[in-house]
Amino acid sequence: MNRLSSVIFTALLLAPRASLDAVATDANLRATEQLGVVQAGKPVAVRYAGAPWKEVADGLQSPTDGRGLFAGKDLGLGDFRISARLKLDRLESTAVSFMMNNSHLGFDGRGRALFIEGPLFSGQKLLPEAAKPLIKPGQAFDLEIVRENGVTRFQIDKHEILRMERWTGPAAQIGFRPHRNRITLERFEVQGKLVMPTPPFGTPVFISGQAGYSGYRIPALAVTTKGTILAICEGRRNSLGDTGDIDLLVRRSTDHGKTWGPQQVVWDDGGNTCGNPCVVVDRDTGKIWLLTTWNRGDDHEGEIIAGASKDTRRVFVTHSDDDGLTWAKPVEITADVKQQDWTWYATGPGGGIQIERGPRKGRLVVPCDHIEKETKHYYSHVIYSDDHGKNWKLGGSTPQHKVNECEVVELADGRLMLNSRNYSAQRFRQIAFSDDGGLTWYNQRHDEALIEPVCQAAIERYRWPSQGKPGVILFSNPASTAGRRRMTVRASFDDGKTWPVARVLNPGPSAYSDLAVLPDGQIACLYEGGTDYDVQSMMFANFTLDSLQEETRP
Protein backbone atom coordinates (compact mmCIF):
# COMPACT_ATOMS: atom_id res chain seq x y z
CA MET A 1 0.00 0.00 0.00
CA ASN A 2 1.52 3.38 -0.99
CA ARG A 3 1.50 6.37 1.37
CA LEU A 4 -1.52 8.10 -0.23
CA SER A 5 -3.61 4.93 -0.08
CA SER A 6 -2.56 4.42 3.55
CA VAL A 7 -3.67 7.95 4.49
CA ILE A 8 -7.05 7.47 2.78
CA PHE A 9 -7.53 4.06 4.41
CA THR A 10 -6.69 5.44 7.87
CA ALA A 11 -9.03 8.41 7.37
CA LEU A 12 -11.85 6.08 6.47
CA LEU A 13 -11.22 3.90 9.51
CA LEU A 14 -11.34 6.92 11.83
CA ALA A 15 -14.31 8.59 10.12
CA PRO A 16 -17.72 8.46 11.83
CA ARG A 17 -20.29 6.09 10.36
CA ALA A 18 -22.34 8.91 8.76
CA SER A 19 -19.25 10.12 6.93
CA LEU A 20 -18.51 6.61 5.69
CA ASP A 21 -22.07 6.37 4.36
CA ALA A 22 -21.70 9.72 2.61
CA VAL A 23 -18.45 8.59 1.00
CA ALA A 24 -20.10 5.40 -0.16
CA THR A 25 -23.09 7.28 -1.50
CA ASP A 26 -20.94 9.82 -3.32
CA ALA A 27 -18.98 6.96 -4.83
CA ASN A 28 -22.20 5.27 -5.89
CA LEU A 29 -23.52 8.45 -7.48
CA ARG A 30 -20.23 9.23 -9.21
CA ALA A 31 -20.55 5.84 -10.89
CA THR A 32 -23.97 6.73 -12.25
CA GLU A 33 -25.19 8.99 -15.01
CA GLN A 34 -26.02 12.67 -14.68
CA LEU A 35 -28.77 14.20 -16.78
CA GLY A 36 -29.47 17.89 -17.16
CA VAL A 37 -33.17 17.84 -18.00
CA VAL A 38 -33.61 21.63 -17.97
CA GLN A 39 -30.58 23.91 -17.80
CA ALA A 40 -30.69 27.71 -17.58
CA GLY A 41 -34.36 27.59 -18.45
CA LYS A 42 -33.77 25.63 -21.67
CA PRO A 43 -35.10 22.12 -22.41
CA VAL A 44 -32.24 19.65 -22.79
CA ALA A 45 -33.53 16.13 -22.14
CA VAL A 46 -37.28 16.41 -21.65
CA ARG A 47 -40.42 14.48 -22.51
CA TYR A 48 -43.60 16.51 -22.61
CA ALA A 49 -47.02 15.20 -21.61
CA GLY A 50 -48.80 16.96 -24.45
CA ALA A 51 -47.77 20.38 -25.70
CA PRO A 52 -44.20 21.65 -25.16
CA TRP A 53 -43.55 24.20 -22.46
CA LYS A 54 -42.68 27.75 -23.49
CA GLU A 55 -39.27 29.36 -23.14
CA VAL A 56 -39.62 32.71 -21.36
CA ALA A 57 -37.10 35.17 -19.88
CA ASP A 58 -36.81 33.49 -16.47
CA GLY A 59 -37.18 29.83 -17.40
CA LEU A 60 -39.23 27.13 -19.09
CA GLN A 61 -42.91 27.86 -18.49
CA SER A 62 -45.73 25.34 -18.46
CA PRO A 63 -49.32 25.56 -19.68
CA THR A 64 -51.92 25.44 -16.90
CA ASP A 65 -53.99 22.41 -17.92
CA GLY A 66 -51.95 19.63 -16.35
CA ARG A 67 -49.68 18.77 -19.28
CA GLY A 68 -46.46 17.90 -17.56
CA LEU A 69 -42.75 17.75 -18.21
CA PHE A 70 -40.72 14.60 -17.48
CA ALA A 71 -37.05 13.68 -17.50
CA GLY A 72 -35.88 12.14 -20.76
CA LYS A 73 -34.86 8.98 -18.90
CA ASP A 74 -36.33 7.05 -16.00
CA LEU A 75 -34.61 6.45 -12.65
CA GLY A 76 -33.85 2.83 -11.87
CA LEU A 77 -32.64 1.12 -8.71
CA GLY A 78 -29.93 2.45 -6.43
CA ASP A 79 -29.01 5.81 -4.95
CA PHE A 80 -30.05 8.95 -6.76
CA ARG A 81 -30.27 12.72 -6.52
CA ILE A 82 -32.98 14.90 -8.06
CA SER A 83 -32.73 18.67 -7.89
CA ALA A 84 -34.74 21.49 -9.41
CA ARG A 85 -35.25 25.21 -9.09
CA LEU A 86 -38.74 26.43 -9.95
CA LYS A 87 -41.50 28.87 -9.08
CA LEU A 88 -45.28 28.78 -9.13
CA ASP A 89 -47.60 31.51 -10.37
CA ARG A 90 -50.00 31.20 -7.46
CA LEU A 91 -51.09 29.15 -4.46
CA GLU A 92 -54.84 28.62 -4.50
CA SER A 93 -55.47 24.88 -3.96
CA THR A 94 -54.23 24.11 -7.45
CA ALA A 95 -52.72 20.62 -6.85
CA VAL A 96 -49.57 21.42 -8.82
CA SER A 97 -47.03 18.69 -8.06
CA PHE A 98 -43.74 16.89 -8.57
CA MET A 99 -44.40 13.38 -9.93
CA MET A 100 -42.37 10.27 -9.16
CA ASN A 101 -43.38 6.66 -9.76
CA ASN A 102 -46.95 7.66 -10.59
CA SER A 103 -47.29 9.50 -7.25
CA HIS A 104 -47.37 13.17 -6.29
CA LEU A 105 -45.54 15.49 -3.96
CA GLY A 106 -47.95 18.39 -4.17
CA PHE A 107 -46.79 21.95 -3.64
CA ASP A 108 -50.26 23.43 -3.19
CA GLY A 109 -53.20 21.47 -1.85
CA ARG A 110 -56.20 22.47 0.18
CA GLY A 111 -55.38 25.27 2.54
CA ARG A 112 -52.24 26.09 0.52
CA ALA A 113 -50.46 23.12 2.07
CA LEU A 114 -47.96 20.57 0.84
CA PHE A 115 -49.42 17.11 0.30
CA ILE A 116 -48.45 13.61 -0.83
CA GLU A 117 -50.62 11.11 -2.67
CA GLY A 118 -50.28 7.94 -4.71
CA PRO A 119 -49.00 4.41 -4.16
CA LEU A 120 -45.39 5.43 -3.52
CA PHE A 121 -46.40 7.48 -0.48
CA SER A 122 -48.89 5.02 0.98
CA GLY A 123 -48.48 5.02 4.77
CA GLN A 124 -46.07 7.99 4.70
CA LYS A 125 -46.55 11.27 6.57
CA LEU A 126 -45.04 14.69 5.96
CA LEU A 127 -42.68 15.96 8.65
CA PRO A 128 -43.67 18.95 10.85
CA GLU A 129 -41.35 21.17 8.79
CA ALA A 130 -43.77 20.74 5.88
CA ALA A 131 -46.39 22.78 7.76
CA LYS A 132 -44.31 25.94 7.41
CA PRO A 133 -45.03 28.38 4.53
CA LEU A 134 -42.01 27.26 2.51
CA ILE A 135 -43.34 28.29 -0.90
CA LYS A 136 -44.50 31.74 -1.96
CA PRO A 137 -46.21 32.66 -5.24
CA GLY A 138 -43.83 33.99 -7.86
CA GLN A 139 -40.69 33.22 -5.81
CA ALA A 140 -38.22 30.57 -6.88
CA PHE A 141 -37.43 27.67 -4.54
CA ASP A 142 -35.14 24.64 -4.61
CA LEU A 143 -36.44 21.08 -4.52
CA GLU A 144 -34.00 18.28 -3.74
CA ILE A 145 -34.69 14.56 -3.35
CA VAL A 146 -31.79 12.31 -2.40
CA ARG A 147 -31.73 8.59 -1.73
CA GLU A 148 -28.70 7.23 0.08
CA ASN A 149 -28.28 3.97 1.98
CA GLY A 150 -31.98 3.15 1.86
CA VAL A 151 -33.15 6.55 3.14
CA THR A 152 -34.87 9.02 0.81
CA ARG A 153 -35.04 12.64 1.90
CA PHE A 154 -37.24 15.31 0.34
CA GLN A 155 -36.20 18.94 0.90
CA ILE A 156 -37.53 22.37 -0.07
CA ASP A 157 -34.94 25.10 0.35
CA LYS A 158 -32.97 22.76 2.67
CA HIS A 159 -36.02 22.14 4.89
CA GLU A 160 -36.62 18.39 5.15
CA ILE A 161 -40.33 17.78 4.57
CA LEU A 162 -40.43 13.99 4.12
CA ARG A 163 -38.21 11.02 4.92
CA MET A 164 -38.82 7.52 3.57
CA GLU A 165 -37.04 4.58 5.20
CA ARG A 166 -36.19 1.35 3.40
CA TRP A 167 -37.70 2.28 0.04
CA THR A 168 -35.37 0.79 -2.57
CA GLY A 169 -37.55 0.54 -5.66
CA PRO A 170 -37.07 2.51 -8.88
CA ALA A 171 -38.16 6.14 -8.91
CA ALA A 172 -39.22 5.50 -12.51
CA GLN A 173 -40.69 8.51 -14.33
CA ILE A 174 -40.02 11.85 -12.69
CA GLY A 175 -41.31 15.27 -13.62
CA PHE A 176 -43.70 18.11 -12.88
CA ARG A 177 -47.48 18.45 -13.26
CA PRO A 178 -48.76 22.06 -13.48
CA HIS A 179 -52.32 21.17 -12.43
CA ARG A 180 -54.45 24.36 -12.56
CA ASN A 181 -51.25 26.37 -12.17
CA ARG A 182 -48.20 27.53 -14.07
CA ILE A 183 -44.67 26.32 -13.32
CA THR A 184 -41.51 28.11 -14.42
CA LEU A 185 -38.50 25.78 -14.36
CA GLU A 186 -35.04 27.29 -14.17
CA ARG A 187 -33.19 24.02 -13.55
CA PHE A 188 -34.01 20.29 -13.36
CA GLU A 189 -31.25 17.71 -12.92
CA VAL A 190 -31.18 13.98 -12.26
CA GLN A 191 -28.34 11.72 -11.15
CA GLY A 192 -28.55 7.97 -10.68
CA LYS A 193 -29.05 4.79 -12.66
CA LEU A 194 -30.86 6.15 -15.70
CA VAL A 195 -32.74 3.93 -18.13
CA MET A 196 -34.65 4.61 -21.31
CA PRO A 197 -38.39 4.00 -20.87
CA THR A 198 -39.89 1.15 -22.86
CA PRO A 199 -42.41 2.58 -25.33
CA PRO A 200 -45.96 1.23 -25.17
CA PHE A 201 -46.98 -1.35 -27.74
CA GLY A 202 -49.58 -0.20 -30.23
CA THR A 203 -50.70 2.86 -32.16
CA PRO A 204 -52.04 6.04 -30.54
CA VAL A 205 -55.64 6.58 -31.66
CA PHE A 206 -56.40 9.58 -29.41
CA ILE A 207 -53.55 11.84 -28.21
CA SER A 208 -53.91 14.32 -25.38
CA GLY A 209 -53.81 17.95 -26.44
CA GLN A 210 -54.79 17.22 -30.03
CA ALA A 211 -58.04 17.72 -31.96
CA GLY A 212 -59.47 20.21 -29.49
CA TYR A 213 -59.30 18.21 -26.26
CA SER A 214 -56.92 18.48 -23.32
CA GLY A 215 -57.13 14.75 -22.72
CA TYR A 216 -58.77 11.46 -23.64
CA ARG A 217 -59.86 8.79 -21.19
CA ILE A 218 -62.19 5.83 -20.58
CA PRO A 219 -61.89 3.48 -23.60
CA ALA A 220 -64.62 1.27 -25.06
CA LEU A 221 -63.91 -1.04 -27.98
CA ALA A 222 -66.26 -2.95 -30.31
CA VAL A 223 -66.18 -4.86 -33.59
CA THR A 224 -69.36 -4.51 -35.64
CA THR A 225 -71.08 -7.27 -37.61
CA LYS A 226 -69.38 -5.86 -40.72
CA GLY A 227 -65.93 -6.14 -39.13
CA THR A 228 -65.47 -2.42 -38.45
CA ILE A 229 -63.54 -1.53 -35.29
CA LEU A 230 -65.03 1.24 -33.15
CA ALA A 231 -62.70 2.98 -30.68
CA ILE A 232 -64.82 5.04 -28.28
CA CYS A 233 -63.71 7.28 -25.42
CA GLU A 234 -64.29 10.47 -23.46
CA GLY A 235 -62.87 13.69 -24.86
CA ARG A 236 -62.09 15.98 -21.93
CA ARG A 237 -62.26 19.48 -23.33
CA ASN A 238 -60.55 21.77 -20.84
CA SER A 239 -58.75 19.57 -18.33
CA LEU A 240 -57.86 15.99 -17.49
CA GLY A 241 -60.34 15.88 -14.60
CA ASP A 242 -63.42 13.64 -14.28
CA THR A 243 -65.92 16.49 -14.42
CA GLY A 244 -66.63 19.52 -16.58
CA ASP A 245 -67.01 19.64 -20.36
CA ILE A 246 -66.65 15.99 -21.46
CA ASP A 247 -67.87 14.60 -24.81
CA LEU A 248 -68.25 11.07 -26.20
CA LEU A 249 -66.07 10.42 -29.25
CA VAL A 250 -65.52 7.60 -31.74
CA ARG A 251 -63.04 6.66 -34.44
CA ARG A 252 -63.59 3.87 -36.98
CA SER A 253 -61.23 1.47 -38.70
CA THR A 254 -62.30 -0.73 -41.61
CA ASP A 255 -58.91 -2.44 -42.09
CA HIS A 256 -58.28 -4.19 -38.76
CA GLY A 257 -56.75 -1.14 -37.13
CA LYS A 258 -54.15 -0.31 -39.78
CA THR A 259 -55.73 3.10 -40.43
CA TRP A 260 -58.38 5.15 -38.65
CA GLY A 261 -61.05 7.53 -39.83
CA PRO A 262 -61.55 11.03 -38.46
CA GLN A 263 -62.59 11.69 -34.88
CA GLN A 264 -66.40 11.96 -34.59
CA VAL A 265 -68.50 13.37 -31.76
CA VAL A 266 -71.22 10.98 -30.57
CA TRP A 267 -72.60 13.26 -27.84
CA ASP A 268 -71.69 16.81 -26.86
CA ASP A 269 -73.94 18.49 -24.29
CA GLY A 270 -72.16 21.82 -23.97
CA GLY A 271 -70.28 22.16 -20.70
CA ASN A 272 -71.82 19.04 -19.15
CA THR A 273 -70.29 15.59 -18.64
CA CYS A 274 -71.22 12.84 -21.12
CA GLY A 275 -69.14 9.81 -20.27
CA ASN A 276 -68.59 6.27 -19.09
CA PRO A 277 -69.14 4.65 -22.50
CA CYS A 278 -70.20 1.00 -22.52
CA VAL A 279 -70.78 -0.47 -25.97
CA VAL A 280 -72.50 -3.69 -27.07
CA VAL A 281 -73.19 -4.97 -30.58
CA ASP A 282 -76.43 -6.84 -31.30
CA ARG A 283 -75.34 -9.64 -33.64
CA ASP A 284 -78.94 -10.33 -34.70
CA THR A 285 -79.76 -6.80 -35.90
CA GLY A 286 -76.30 -5.31 -36.48
CA LYS A 287 -77.30 -2.34 -34.31
CA ILE A 288 -74.63 -0.89 -32.02
CA TRP A 289 -75.82 0.19 -28.57
CA LEU A 290 -73.88 2.69 -26.51
CA LEU A 291 -74.82 3.16 -22.86
CA THR A 292 -73.55 6.26 -21.10
CA THR A 293 -74.04 8.49 -18.07
CA TRP A 294 -74.56 12.25 -17.76
CA ASN A 295 -74.16 14.87 -15.07
CA ARG A 296 -73.92 18.64 -14.92
CA GLY A 297 -70.43 19.87 -15.63
CA ASP A 298 -70.37 21.88 -12.42
CA ASP A 299 -71.40 18.92 -10.23
CA HIS A 300 -68.45 16.97 -8.82
CA GLU A 301 -68.51 13.29 -7.92
CA GLY A 302 -68.23 13.94 -4.19
CA GLU A 303 -71.22 16.29 -4.31
CA ILE A 304 -73.30 13.75 -6.24
CA ILE A 305 -72.42 10.98 -3.78
CA ALA A 306 -73.31 13.22 -0.83
CA GLY A 307 -76.61 14.25 -2.40
CA ALA A 308 -75.45 17.88 -2.43
CA SER A 309 -75.25 18.35 -6.21
CA LYS A 310 -77.49 20.55 -8.34
CA ASP A 311 -78.60 17.53 -10.36
CA THR A 312 -77.79 13.84 -10.19
CA ARG A 313 -76.15 11.16 -12.29
CA ARG A 314 -78.42 10.13 -15.17
CA VAL A 315 -78.33 7.15 -17.56
CA PHE A 316 -78.74 7.44 -21.35
CA VAL A 317 -78.57 5.18 -24.39
CA THR A 318 -77.78 5.94 -28.02
CA HIS A 319 -77.34 3.64 -31.00
CA SER A 320 -76.04 3.42 -34.55
CA ASP A 321 -77.79 1.66 -37.44
CA ASP A 322 -75.06 2.35 -40.01
CA ASP A 323 -71.92 0.68 -38.66
CA GLY A 324 -70.97 3.58 -36.39
CA LEU A 325 -71.08 6.33 -39.02
CA THR A 326 -73.90 8.24 -37.32
CA TRP A 327 -75.53 8.03 -33.89
CA ALA A 328 -79.07 8.65 -32.65
CA LYS A 329 -79.89 11.36 -30.15
CA PRO A 330 -79.32 9.91 -26.65
CA VAL A 331 -82.47 8.82 -24.82
CA GLU A 332 -82.69 8.92 -21.02
CA ILE A 333 -83.48 5.61 -19.27
CA THR A 334 -82.65 6.63 -15.68
CA ALA A 335 -86.11 5.79 -14.30
CA ASP A 336 -85.89 2.27 -15.71
CA VAL A 337 -82.44 1.31 -14.41
CA LYS A 338 -81.62 3.42 -11.34
CA GLN A 339 -83.14 3.08 -7.88
CA GLN A 340 -84.14 6.26 -6.08
CA ASP A 341 -81.83 5.58 -3.13
CA TRP A 342 -78.78 5.48 -5.41
CA THR A 343 -76.63 8.59 -5.90
CA TRP A 344 -73.60 7.86 -8.05
CA TYR A 345 -74.10 5.67 -11.12
CA ALA A 346 -71.77 4.55 -13.89
CA THR A 347 -72.20 2.41 -16.99
CA GLY A 348 -69.30 0.05 -17.69
CA PRO A 349 -67.04 1.50 -18.75
CA GLY A 350 -65.87 -0.65 -21.65
CA GLY A 351 -68.05 -3.34 -23.20
CA GLY A 352 -71.25 -5.25 -22.58
CA ILE A 353 -72.19 -8.64 -24.02
CA GLN A 354 -74.98 -10.38 -25.89
CA ILE A 355 -75.70 -13.82 -24.42
CA GLU A 356 -74.92 -16.41 -27.11
CA ARG A 357 -76.25 -19.67 -25.63
CA GLY A 358 -79.07 -21.09 -23.57
CA PRO A 359 -82.62 -19.91 -22.80
CA ARG A 360 -81.59 -16.25 -22.60
CA LYS A 361 -79.80 -16.19 -25.93
CA GLY A 362 -79.92 -12.72 -27.47
CA ARG A 363 -80.14 -10.82 -24.14
CA LEU A 364 -77.99 -7.68 -24.07
CA VAL A 365 -76.20 -7.32 -20.72
CA VAL A 366 -74.41 -4.11 -19.73
CA PRO A 367 -72.25 -3.92 -16.57
CA CYS A 368 -72.73 -0.90 -14.28
CA ASP A 369 -72.12 0.28 -10.73
CA HIS A 370 -73.78 2.51 -8.15
CA ILE A 371 -73.53 3.97 -4.65
CA GLU A 372 -76.25 3.73 -2.02
CA LYS A 373 -77.29 7.10 -0.64
CA GLU A 374 -77.45 6.14 3.06
CA THR A 375 -74.49 3.75 3.38
CA LYS A 376 -72.35 5.28 0.59
CA HIS A 377 -71.34 1.71 -0.28
CA TYR A 378 -70.18 0.85 -3.80
CA TYR A 379 -71.82 -2.10 -5.63
CA SER A 380 -71.56 -3.57 -9.12
CA HIS A 381 -74.75 -4.40 -11.00
CA VAL A 382 -76.02 -5.00 -14.55
CA ILE A 383 -78.82 -3.76 -16.75
CA TYR A 384 -80.26 -5.78 -19.63
CA SER A 385 -82.55 -5.78 -22.65
CA ASP A 386 -84.54 -8.75 -24.00
CA ASP A 387 -86.01 -6.86 -26.97
CA HIS A 388 -82.86 -5.84 -28.85
CA GLY A 389 -82.35 -2.55 -27.01
CA LYS A 390 -85.87 -1.12 -27.20
CA ASN A 391 -86.30 -1.33 -23.42
CA TRP A 392 -83.74 -1.63 -20.64
CA LYS A 393 -84.30 -3.14 -17.21
CA LEU A 394 -82.38 -3.27 -13.96
CA GLY A 395 -80.68 -6.57 -13.22
CA GLY A 396 -79.03 -7.78 -10.03
CA SER A 397 -76.36 -6.24 -7.80
CA THR A 398 -73.38 -7.94 -6.17
CA PRO A 399 -74.20 -9.32 -2.70
CA GLN A 400 -71.24 -7.51 -1.15
CA HIS A 401 -70.05 -3.94 -1.54
CA LYS A 402 -66.55 -2.43 -2.09
CA VAL A 403 -66.73 -3.09 -5.83
CA ASN A 404 -67.74 -0.83 -8.70
CA GLU A 405 -66.53 -0.61 -12.35
CA CYS A 406 -66.99 -4.04 -13.90
CA GLU A 407 -67.32 -6.15 -17.04
CA VAL A 408 -69.16 -9.41 -17.67
CA VAL A 409 -68.41 -12.60 -19.62
CA GLU A 410 -70.47 -15.66 -20.53
CA LEU A 411 -69.08 -19.01 -19.33
CA ALA A 412 -69.29 -22.36 -21.11
CA ASP A 413 -71.64 -23.81 -18.47
CA GLY A 414 -74.23 -21.08 -19.08
CA ARG A 415 -73.38 -18.86 -16.13
CA LEU A 416 -72.27 -15.24 -16.32
CA MET A 417 -69.18 -14.06 -14.48
CA LEU A 418 -68.86 -10.45 -13.32
CA ASN A 419 -65.32 -9.12 -12.84
CA SER A 420 -65.14 -5.96 -10.69
CA ARG A 421 -62.77 -3.29 -9.50
CA ASN A 422 -62.04 -3.97 -5.83
CA TYR A 423 -61.89 -1.53 -2.90
CA SER A 424 -61.13 -3.99 -0.10
CA ALA A 425 -57.69 -4.23 1.52
CA GLN A 426 -56.61 -7.07 -0.78
CA ARG A 427 -55.23 -5.93 -4.12
CA PHE A 428 -57.07 -8.52 -6.24
CA ARG A 429 -60.05 -8.31 -8.57
CA GLN A 430 -63.41 -9.51 -7.29
CA ILE A 431 -65.67 -11.89 -9.22
CA ALA A 432 -69.29 -13.00 -8.86
CA PHE A 433 -71.56 -15.40 -10.76
CA SER A 434 -75.11 -15.51 -12.10
CA ASP A 435 -77.25 -18.51 -13.15
CA ASP A 436 -80.14 -16.40 -14.45
CA GLY A 437 -78.62 -14.07 -17.00
CA GLY A 438 -77.68 -11.36 -14.51
CA LEU A 439 -80.88 -11.10 -12.46
CA THR A 440 -79.07 -12.27 -9.31
CA TRP A 441 -75.40 -12.71 -8.34
CA TYR A 442 -73.72 -15.02 -5.84
CA ASN A 443 -70.35 -16.43 -4.66
CA GLN A 444 -68.61 -13.07 -4.71
CA ARG A 445 -64.91 -13.49 -3.97
CA HIS A 446 -61.38 -12.34 -4.83
CA ASP A 447 -59.49 -13.79 -7.77
CA GLU A 448 -55.95 -13.89 -6.40
CA ALA A 449 -54.45 -14.46 -9.85
CA LEU A 450 -55.64 -11.04 -11.00
CA ILE A 451 -53.72 -8.38 -9.10
CA GLU A 452 -54.69 -4.73 -9.45
CA PRO A 453 -53.90 -1.23 -8.13
CA VAL A 454 -57.66 -0.36 -7.84
CA CYS A 455 -58.53 0.32 -11.46
CA GLN A 456 -60.97 -0.60 -14.21
CA ALA A 457 -60.28 -3.76 -16.24
CA ALA A 458 -61.73 -5.65 -19.22
CA ILE A 459 -62.80 -9.27 -19.78
CA GLU A 460 -63.76 -10.83 -23.12
CA ARG A 461 -64.50 -14.27 -24.53
CA TYR A 462 -62.05 -15.07 -27.32
CA ARG A 463 -63.57 -18.43 -28.36
CA TRP A 464 -65.87 -21.21 -27.17
CA PRO A 465 -64.65 -24.79 -26.56
CA SER A 466 -64.86 -26.62 -29.89
CA GLN A 467 -63.39 -29.64 -31.69
CA GLY A 468 -61.12 -30.58 -28.83
CA LYS A 469 -59.83 -27.05 -28.33
CA PRO A 470 -60.46 -25.37 -24.98
CA GLY A 471 -62.37 -22.14 -24.78
CA VAL A 472 -60.42 -18.93 -24.17
CA ILE A 473 -61.29 -15.89 -22.04
CA LEU A 474 -59.13 -12.75 -22.11
CA PHE A 475 -58.51 -10.21 -19.35
CA SER A 476 -56.65 -6.88 -19.38
CA ASN A 477 -55.63 -4.44 -16.64
CA PRO A 478 -52.61 -2.67 -15.14
CA ALA A 479 -51.19 -5.75 -13.41
CA SER A 480 -49.53 -4.12 -10.43
CA THR A 481 -50.33 -3.56 -6.77
CA ALA A 482 -48.05 -0.52 -6.60
CA GLY A 483 -49.76 1.85 -9.00
CA ARG A 484 -51.35 2.02 -12.42
CA ARG A 485 -48.57 0.47 -14.46
CA ARG A 486 -47.84 -2.62 -16.55
CA MET A 487 -50.81 -2.99 -18.90
CA THR A 488 -51.16 -6.75 -19.26
CA VAL A 489 -53.42 -9.03 -21.29
CA ARG A 490 -53.96 -12.53 -19.87
CA ALA A 491 -55.68 -15.65 -21.19
CA SER A 492 -57.59 -18.40 -19.39
CA PHE A 493 -58.29 -21.83 -20.92
CA ASP A 494 -60.58 -23.04 -18.11
CA ASP A 495 -63.26 -20.30 -17.89
CA GLY A 496 -61.30 -18.06 -15.55
CA LYS A 497 -60.14 -20.62 -12.99
CA THR A 498 -56.50 -20.00 -13.91
CA TRP A 499 -54.66 -17.41 -16.03
CA PRO A 500 -51.45 -19.14 -17.20
CA VAL A 501 -50.27 -16.88 -20.04
CA ALA A 502 -49.91 -13.12 -20.46
CA ARG A 503 -48.44 -10.34 -22.55
CA VAL A 504 -47.31 -6.95 -21.24
CA LEU A 505 -48.33 -4.18 -23.64
CA ASN A 506 -46.84 -1.35 -21.63
CA PRO A 507 -44.55 -1.72 -18.59
CA GLY A 508 -45.00 1.99 -17.86
CA PRO A 509 -47.99 3.98 -16.65
CA SER A 510 -51.28 2.46 -17.81
CA ALA A 511 -54.87 2.59 -16.65
CA TYR A 512 -58.25 1.72 -18.24
CA SER A 513 -58.65 -0.71 -21.14
CA ASP A 514 -61.12 -2.65 -23.25
CA LEU A 515 -60.80 -5.82 -25.34
CA ALA A 516 -62.27 -7.18 -28.57
CA VAL A 517 -61.63 -10.01 -31.03
CA LEU A 518 -60.98 -9.02 -34.64
CA PRO A 519 -62.44 -10.90 -37.64
CA ASP A 520 -58.99 -12.36 -38.43
CA GLY A 521 -58.70 -13.85 -34.94
CA GLN A 522 -56.33 -11.28 -33.54
CA ILE A 523 -56.81 -9.83 -30.07
CA ALA A 524 -57.42 -6.07 -29.90
CA CYS A 525 -56.88 -3.90 -26.84
CA LEU A 526 -57.66 -0.18 -26.54
CA TYR A 527 -55.92 1.16 -23.46
CA GLU A 528 -54.81 4.30 -21.66
CA GLY A 529 -51.07 4.45 -21.61
CA GLY A 530 -47.91 6.08 -22.71
CA THR A 531 -44.48 6.88 -21.39
CA ASP A 532 -46.11 9.55 -19.22
CA TYR A 533 -49.41 8.80 -17.52
CA ASP A 534 -50.54 12.42 -17.80
CA VAL A 535 -50.42 12.18 -21.59
CA GLN A 536 -53.66 10.14 -21.49
CA SER A 537 -52.99 8.70 -24.92
CA MET A 538 -55.38 6.02 -26.09
CA MET A 539 -53.35 3.17 -27.58
CA PHE A 540 -54.70 0.51 -29.94
CA ALA A 541 -52.80 -2.79 -29.95
CA ASN A 542 -53.59 -5.94 -31.93
CA PHE A 543 -51.72 -9.24 -31.64
CA THR A 544 -52.18 -13.01 -31.79
CA LEU A 545 -53.20 -15.33 -28.98
CA ASP A 546 -49.93 -17.23 -29.49
CA SER A 547 -47.96 -14.12 -28.52
CA LEU A 548 -49.14 -14.55 -24.90
CA GLN A 549 -46.57 -16.53 -22.96
CA GLU A 550 -46.13 -17.98 -19.49
CA GLU A 551 -45.82 -14.97 -17.24
CA THR A 552 -42.73 -13.95 -15.31
CA ARG A 553 -43.60 -11.11 -12.96
CA PRO A 554 -41.06 -8.43 -12.07
Percent of the chain past pLDDT 90, that is, above it, reads 80
Residue 535 has, within 13 A of its CA and on its CB side, a CA count of 26
**Same domain for 348 and 276?**
yes
Same domain, 227 and 179: no
Residue 17, in any domain of the structure: no
In a domain, 343, yes or no: yes
For 415, the domain range is 203-548
The one-letter amino acid at 414: G
Evaluate whether residue 18 is within a structural domain: no
Q: What is the mean pLDDT of the chain?
A: 91
Res. 97: pLDDT tops 60: yes
pLDDT tens-place string over residues 1-40: 444 333 333 333 344 444 434 444 455 666 679 999 999 9
Structural domain contains residue 12:
no
**Span 207-232, pLDDT tens digits:** 988 899 988 999 999 999 999 999 99
pLDDT on residue 283: 97
Same domain, yes or no: 65 and 43: yes
What pLDDT was estimated at residue 531?
A: 66
Whether the predicted pLDDT of 241 surpasses 90 = no
Same domain, 87 and 169: yes
DSSP 195-215: EPPPPPSSEEEE-TTSTT-SE
pLDDT at 381 over 60: yes
**Do 114 and 187 belong to one domain?**
yes
pLDDT digits (tens, 9 = 90+) for 165-193: 989 888 888 999 998 899 999 999 999 99
In a domain, residue 391? The reply is yes
Q: Are residues 176 and 223 in the same domain?
A: no
Confirm whether 135 is domain-assigned: yes
pTM for this one?
0.82
Among residues 162, 195, 228, which one ends one of the domains?
195
What does the DSSP assignment read for 243-278?
Answer: SSSEEEEEEEESSTTSS----EEEE--TTSEEEEEE
Residue 102 reports pLDDT greater than 90: no
Q: Is the pLDDT of residue 389 over 50?
A: yes
DSSP 302-345: HHHHHT-SSS--EEEEEEESSTTSS-PPPEE-HHHH--TTEEEE
The domain tally of the chain equals 2
Q: Average of pLDDT values for 187-207?
A: 93
Whole-angstrom distance, CA of residue 112 vs CA of residue 478: 33
CA angle, corner 278, sides to 228 and 421, nearest 5? 125
Q: Are residues 158 and 94 in the same domain?
A: yes
Together in a domain, 281 and 358: yes
Tell me if 7 is assigned to some domain. no
> Domain end: 169, 195, 221, which one?
195
- Please report, for the domain that includes residue 448, its CATH number: 2.120.10.10
Count of other CB atoms within 10 angstroms of residue 30: 9
Q: Is residue 250 predicted with pLDDT exceeding 90?
A: yes
One domain for residues 488 and 403: yes
Same domain, 437 and 525: yes
Residues 183 and 211 in one domain: no
- From 145, 173, 195, give the residue that closes a domain: 195
Query: Quick one: 454 and 386 in the same domain?
Result: yes
Q: What is the DSSP string of 30-84?
A: HTSEEEEEEETTEESSEEESSSPPEEETTEEE--SBS--EEESSEE-SS-EEEEE
Residue 3 backbone dihedrals phi, psi, to 5 degrees: -65, -40
5 part of a folded domain: no
Task: Please tell me whether the peptide bond between 277 and the residue prior to it is cis, using omega within 30 degrees of 0.
Answer: no
Q: How many residues does the chain have?
A: 554
For the cut 60, the answer to whether the pLDDT of residue 365 exceeds it is: yes
Contact assessment for residue 281 and residue 352, using Cβ atoms and an 8 Å cutoff: no
**In angstroms, how far is CA 348 from the centroid of its own chain?**
15
Gap between the Cα atoms of 75 and 347, Å rounded: 38
- pLDDT of amino acid 127: 97
User: Domain of 173: which CATH number?
Assistant: 2.60.120.200
The stretch 241-263 carries a mean pLDDT of 96
Question: Mean pLDDT over residues 141-162, rounded?
Answer: 97
550 pLDDT tier (thresholds 50, 70, 90): confident
Cβ neighbours around 149 below 10 Å, total: 12
